[in-house]
């Protein structure tokens, strides 16, 4: 039985063929695929500091952040400073909410589902929330409208019994999920600016936004049913049958303005190869 994580479920939902290439056939990325691991590394370092400290950030130093960031392959002090400022923004909201941490990176495994919960938060009365942390380029309030149907959040809520068991919390006091987004910054350090001054500017440009979504507005059954259908579909075919059954979604070949890492397998050419088209612009002669 396939165990479909929220990220794999999202990938399968956006393009079945991409899931097939990556998870079933395990193909290498196209040679011209633009590898940019910094956003991933920043997110990992941010998460790791919080996990190490159980989200208690009092007394956090830039040196401590730098050591964690370096372990994730980030070597420049400007990015260290940005992560430090991001953690400062997160701390402001965490302290304001007055919640406590019952668990970090809680593993969930049940039937066709597997995943890791970033953080489980609770108050003094035992009410608790499953938290999912995101590091994002920008924050838009329009995101709030999409959260009740967010696949990852709903799948975690579906498995709240496992979370309660792992953390010792009372399942009946589960209140919902929390989307914990912290923005990055594109600011660059000025030539004559000290690192402390740069961190001060960064602190003004980043923010942390926590959105609490109660059980009453979640779509747990609908999302769980879709997840089960996807897992069942994947399980219903042998490896030899997969390619003919998993459809391509050509509308997702340039998600987030970057070509899919398997672009050539659907388009019979590398993304960077010349394509015979005519282009006319206002600047053309």
pLDDT value for 1 = 79
- Supply the range of the domain harboring residue 140: 36-218
Angle in degrees, CA 86, 145, 92, rounded to 5: 25
Per-residue pLDDT, averaged over 131-154, amounts to 96
Question: Distance between CA 148 and CA 14 in Å, rounded?
Answer: 19
pTM of structure: 0.90
Judge whether 3 lies within some domain.
no
Dig out the tokens for 264 from the structure: 């050539």
Question: What are the pLDDT digits (tens) for 205-226?
Answer: 999 999 999 999 999 999 999 9
Q: How is the chain split among helix, strand and coil, in percent rounded to 5? A: 50, 15, 35
pLDDT value for 240 = 67
Per-residue pLDDT, averaged over 221-249, amounts to 86
Going by pLDDT thresholds of 50, 70 and 90, the confidence category of residue 235 is confident
174 in Cβ contact with 128 (< 8 Å):
yes
Least confident range of 66-70, 106-110, 254-258, 273-277: 254-258
Judge whether 117 lies within some domain.
yes
Least confident range of 33-37, 40-44, 46-50, 270-274: 33-37
Domain count, the chain: 1
Per-residue pLDDT, averaged over 177-205, amounts to 96
Sign for the CA dihedral angle at 165, 167, 173, 177 comes to negative
pLDDT value for 275 = 85
Judge whether 247 lies within some domain.
no
Dig out the tokens for 160 from the structure: 């709240």
Judge whether 239 lies within some domain.
no
Judge whether 66 lies within some domain.
yes
Judge whether 64 lies within some domain.
yes
Looking at the predicted structure, is the pLDDT value of residue 185 above 80?
Answer: yes
Looking at the predicted structure, is the pLDDT value of residue 284 above 80?
Answer: no
Output the domain CATH number for residue 200: 3.90.320
pLDDT value for 39 = 78
Least confident range of 37-41, 88-92, 142-146: 37-41
Judge whether 225 lies within some domain.
no
- Residue 128's contacts (CB-CB under 8 Å, 6 or more residues apart) are 102, 120, 121, 122, 167, 169, 170, 173, 174, 175
Question: What are the pLDDT digits (tens) for 148-163?
Answer: 999 999 999 999 999 9
pLDDT value for 2 = 86
Judge whether 169 lies within some domain.
yes
Across the chain, mean pLDDT equals 94
Going by pLDDT thresholds of 50, 70 and 90, the confidence category of residue 257 is confident
């Amino acid at each position: 039985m396939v165990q479909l994580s929220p990220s794999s479920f999202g990938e399968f939902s956006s393009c079945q063929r991409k899931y097939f290439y990556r998870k079933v056939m395990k193909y290498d990325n196209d040679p011209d695929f633009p590898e940019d691991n910094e956003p991933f590394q920043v997110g990992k370092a941010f998460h790791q500091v919080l996990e190490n400290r159980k989200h208690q950030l009092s007394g956090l130093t830039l040196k401590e952040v730098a050591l964690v960031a370096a372990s994730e392959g980030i070597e420049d002090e400007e990015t260290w400073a940005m992560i430090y400022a991001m953690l400062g923004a997160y701390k402001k909201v965490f302290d304001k909410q007055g919640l406590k941490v019952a668990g970090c990176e809680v593993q969930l495994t049940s039937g066709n589902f597997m995943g890791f919960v970033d953080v489980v938060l609770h108050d003094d009365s035992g009410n608790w929330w499953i938290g999912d942390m995101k590091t994002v380029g920008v924050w838009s309030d329009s995101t709030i409208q999409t959260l009740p149907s967010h696949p990852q959040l709903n799948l975690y809520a579906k498995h709240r019994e496992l979370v309660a068991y792992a953390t010792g919390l009372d399942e009946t006091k589960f209140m919902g999920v929390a989307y914990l987004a912290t923005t990055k910054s594109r600011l660059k350090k000025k030539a004559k600016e000290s690192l402390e001054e740069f961190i001060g500017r960064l602190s003004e440009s980043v923010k942390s936004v926590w959105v609490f979504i109660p059980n009453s507005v979640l779509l747990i059954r609908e999302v769980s049913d879709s997840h089960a259908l996807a897992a069942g579909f994947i399980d219903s075919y042998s490896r030899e049958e997969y390619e003919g059954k998993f459809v391509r979604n050509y509308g997702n070949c340039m998600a987030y303005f970057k070509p899919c890492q398997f672009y050539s397998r659907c388009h019979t050419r590398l993304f960077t190869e010349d394509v015979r088209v005519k282009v006319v612009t206002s600047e053309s002669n």
